[in-house]
Structure 1
Amino acid sequence: MASFSPGDRIRYETIDDDGFPLVRYGFVGGDPGDDGPVVVLLDGELGGDFVERNKLVPVHIGTVVLTLDGKDLLDDPSLRQGLVHLWQAEAEDAGLRIAALHPIGTGVRDSSEGYLLAELNTCDQQYVLRAAQCPMGNDAVVVGASLPNRF
């Protein structure tokens, strides 16, 4: 289980009032202690919420992942190009600073189920942005950054 300190940037996945998945970002407020809920100051809200520690993930380039419905997002080259911009917007929303992002046209097939979409650099580290069919076997696509040889 992750350990948190005041001011840490976090990612919080929850379900909105309509029953749809929702990803929120914020900061750890106050001293979270060793166990129990953590006070989180969510972006765009006044005050803090208590969130169970196991529902929080530290924000890092590898934890900013989009899961989008529709396998056609991988099948259609123009839609694959759009995934780069959707992920970039999510990374900005998470508070990440991407030094350089270089899209690779309509993507390059890197495995039987995915595409390499872009190369990016942050904190003097090289990453790649990939899109692949969701490993859970549904009709979703997962878009995320990783080191060049992982995903």
Structure 2
Amino acid sequence: MHTEVILLPIFCTLIGFVIWTIFSTIRRYKIANLQAGMQTKLLEKFGSGQELLAYVQSDAGRGFLESLTMEQRTPYGRILGAAQVGVILVLVSFAFLFLRGRVAGAEEGFLVLGTITLCLGVGFGLSAALSYYLSKSFGLLTERTAHRP
């Protein structure tokens, strides 16, 4: 009886993680295909290497070359993602620690799960704070990166 109480949240978390991974992979694949198609059409518009070179030297061309990278996340996006995961893990850990005193016979299991998720949440929060501090000191956080998709 007590094993089911602990295994159910773990199983639901696992299923949720698998579904999230599948959908985020599909989304990135579709975005990459869309970008590749748009970039191919744009490159086909140029009649010669001279026209392409002139375009690449312009501001729009530099932006185009920057967009060729696969991952478009800015430092802000990465920091925000780590902070979000940290907050969620801390809240989940509080739920596990709350359930520790409410479910008879499963106190030790919920204590272990709550402690692990709390440590992970605090770690993600510290990682976000450190990333923000380092990105700011390296000059990576500018107005230009804040408004990029």
Higher helix proportion: 2
The TM-score with structure 2 as length reference comes to 0.23
Larger Rg: 2
Length-normalised TM-score, structure 1: 0.23
Task: Decide which structure has greater strand share.
Answer: 1
